Structure 1
C-alpha cells in the first residue's frame, strides 16, 4: 500500500503558495506517494487539485474547517493518512488541532512567504510545537525562521523549491518564435527584456520602468523592447491601481511604443523562450520561482540583490542590482543587451544550475524523505 499525504491549503488566493500542492502531486505519485487534499469550496486551489487528479475534501471557510474537525479526522482515519502538509500559517491552527487529536500524525509546514515578525507567544508555541518539520524555501528565510519561530534548529530545514525543466527546453521553430515575439509587441531585431509576475509594488516593476527610461537615454544605439507579463486585474492577482500608475508613468516617459503590457499568459515557458533577458526586481523574494524558470529556459537573469535571489543568481548566470537603483539596473541591462554571446553563455550556465540543484524531482525526493521520517542529508 502506498504511503499517503494530505496537502492542506485553505486559501482563496492564487499565487505560488496556492499553486504548489497541485504542482508537486504528479511527482509525488511518480515517487510512490498518494496525495489527498483539503481546500476551500470553489477555490482555485480546489480546482487545481482536481486538475492534478485529486478530488479534495472541501470546507466552506477556515472557521467551518475547525467546526468540522471531526469529519476531517474521520477522513484521515478512513484513508489511513498519517502525514499532513500545511502551506499557509493561518492553516496551522487546524493542522495543530488535528495533530493534537490524532496522536502519531506527522505535521509539516512550508513557509512560502517568509516570516516578518517573531511568533513566540503561547498560541504560536502551541501550534508550531506540533510540527514535525518546518520547511524554509531558501537560506534567507531559514535564517529568519530560526529567529522567529519557537522551534529548535533541527526542526527547521531549508528545502529549495524545484521545477520540471522539460517544458523550458527550446521547442519553438524560428518562425514560431518570430510570431510569438510579434504577438508580445517585440519589433524585429530588438532585444526583448521581460519581467514576468504579478504586477504589484513589491515585485519591482516601477524601478524596471525607470531603468528602461535611463537605458534609452544612456544607450540610444541599442534596440530593445520591454515586455511586462502579468495579469492586469485583481482577478489575476495584480494591483489594478498600481497597473494604472505604471501605465501612466510609461506614457509620461514616452515609452508607450517600447514597453508592452502583455497581460496574463498561461504559456510562460513559451514566452520565456521569446525573451532575451528576464528581470526579477522583487525587493524581498522568499525564493524566486520565476528566476529558476527563466534559468531553465536558458535565459540570463537580472535580479534584485536582496531576499533569496542572490542564492540563485551570480555572475555566471546573470547580474544583480539593488532593487531601488534604476541606474544599476540600466547598466546591467545595457551590458547584456549589447552582447548576444554573453546572453547565451549566462543562459546556458543558468540552465545547467537548475538541472543540478533546482529540479522538482530532487525537491520531492527530499520532501518524501521527510514525510517518511528519514534523516536529512
Structure 2
C-alpha cells in the first residue's frame, strides 16, 4: 500500500524497486494506490495488479470513508487470497491493521520516518511485524510491548546497476551542463523540512563563481515554491541556483553532480534515499546530522553537518570544492558502501525472509 501515487518521493521509489525485485515465482505482488498516476503505471508495466482506493488523512471528516476503506480492503484480501498487507505509511497501516483483523492476512508495517505520531501505539499493536529503514526508527517505538519480537531494521535498496558511476565530463555534456562547472544537487520534495531555505542561504556564503546549484523535485505547495524563488531572486542567485522539475532519469543527474546535498531537518527523513542513490553513482554526499541520515553516511563516505545551519553547509560544500583528493575518496568509498549495504537485491531477499516468516505462522 502506498499513500502517494507519484514516483518522485523516496517511499514510492523504494516500494517500486522492491516489487520489481521480488522473486515472482514465490510471491505475487498486488498494489493499492490512492489514484492512478506515475506509480500505478510503472507498477502495471512491471506486471503488478493495481487497485485504487482513496487513502485519506485520519481526520473526523473522513471517518466514514475510512470505515469504507477497511471494508473494501477486507474484501480485496478475501477475494484475492492475500496473505500479507504491506503498508508504508502510518495512516494506511492503521487501516490495514484493522482490515487484517477481519481476515486471515498479516500486517507488515514498513516504517520510513523516525518521527513519532499519535497513533503509533495502536498501529504497532496491530502489526504482526514492523520493518524500520534505519536503526533510529526503532527509537520511535521504545517501550512498546513485543518490540524485540516485532521490530527489525532493513535498509532500503537501490539498483546499483541502474545507479552507477558515469564519466562526469560525458554525462554533463549529455545533460547540457557546463563541463567545468562544479555541480551541487538537491533532489527531493520541495518542503520546509527538507532544509531548502538553508541551502539557498548557504549558496550566498560560497565565494566561488564556478559552481551551479540544481534543485530538482516537486513542490509540496505552490506557496513554498514561490518562497524559494523569492529567496533566490532577493539574493541575486538566479544564475547559480536553478530550480528544476523532478527528473525521471535522476540517476544521470546524480552521476553528473560533483556533490549531492540533503540538508533535511530532524524528523523529516527515515534515512535519506537520495544519499545512497548518489553514493551508488559515485558522487560525494553531504547530509545533516539527524536521525537516519547519519546511518546512511559514514565518515569515509560523506560529510555530516549541523541541521538548520547555512554556515555549516557552505563550509562543507567549499571544503569538497577545494579538496579533490577528499572528494574522490568519498566517491569511491560511497560506491562501495552502496554495494555493501544498500543493494536492492539484498534488500528484496531480506524482505522476502520476513514474508516467509509471516506466512509460516498461523493467525
TM-score (norm 1): 0.83
- In the other structure, the counterpart of 2:200 is 209
The Cα shift of 1:353 comes to 0.3
My pick for the range that moved more, 85-94 or 345-354, is: 85-94
What is the distance in 1 between the residues matched to 2:220 and 2:76? Answer: 36
The Cα shift of 1:343 comes to 1.6
My pick for the range that moved more, 260-269 or 171-180, is: 171-180
Inter-CA distance 226–75: structure 2 relative to 1 (3 Å threshold): closer
Equivalent position SS for 1:25: helix
- In the other structure, the counterpart of 1:320 is 304
Equivalent position SS for 2:316: helix
Corresponding residue to 1:177 among 172, 181, 188: 172
Q: Is the 8 A contact 2:158 2:343 kept in 1?
A: yes
What is the distance in 1 between the residues matched to 2:299 and 2:55? Answer: 46
1:160 counterpart = 2:155: yes
- In the other structure, the counterpart of 2:214 is 227
Q: Which has the bigger relative contact order, CA under 8 A and spacing at least 6?
A: 2
The Cα shift of 1:254 comes to 2.3
What is the distance in 1 between the residues matched to 2:257 and 2:6? Answer: 28
Corresponding residue to 1:189 among 180, 190, 208: 180
Gaps of 5+ in 1: 1-7, 232-236
Q: Is the 8 A contact 2:108 2:128 kept in 1?
A: yes
Gaps of 5+ in 2: 57-63
The Cα shift of 1:283 comes to 1.0
The Cα shift of 1:239 comes to 2.8
- In the other structure, the counterpart of 1:247 is 229
What is the distance in 1 between the residues matched to 2:263 and 2:3? Answer: 29
What is the distance in 1 between the residues matched to 2:312 and 2:55? Answer: 46
| Aligned pairs, number | 349
- In the other structure, the counterpart of 1:87 is 88
- In the other structure, the counterpart of 1:234 is none
- In the other structure, the counterpart of 1:266 is 248
Equivalent position SS for 2:32: strand
CA RMSD of aligned residues (A): 2.6
The Cα shift of 1:192 comes to 0.9
The Cα shift of 1:139 comes to 1.2
- In the other structure, the counterpart of 2:126 is 130
TM-score (norm 2): 0.86
Equivalent position SS for 1:167: coil
Q: Deviations over 1:177-210 (max 9, x none)?
A: 324142xxxx442211111111111111111122
Equivalent position SS for 1:260: strand
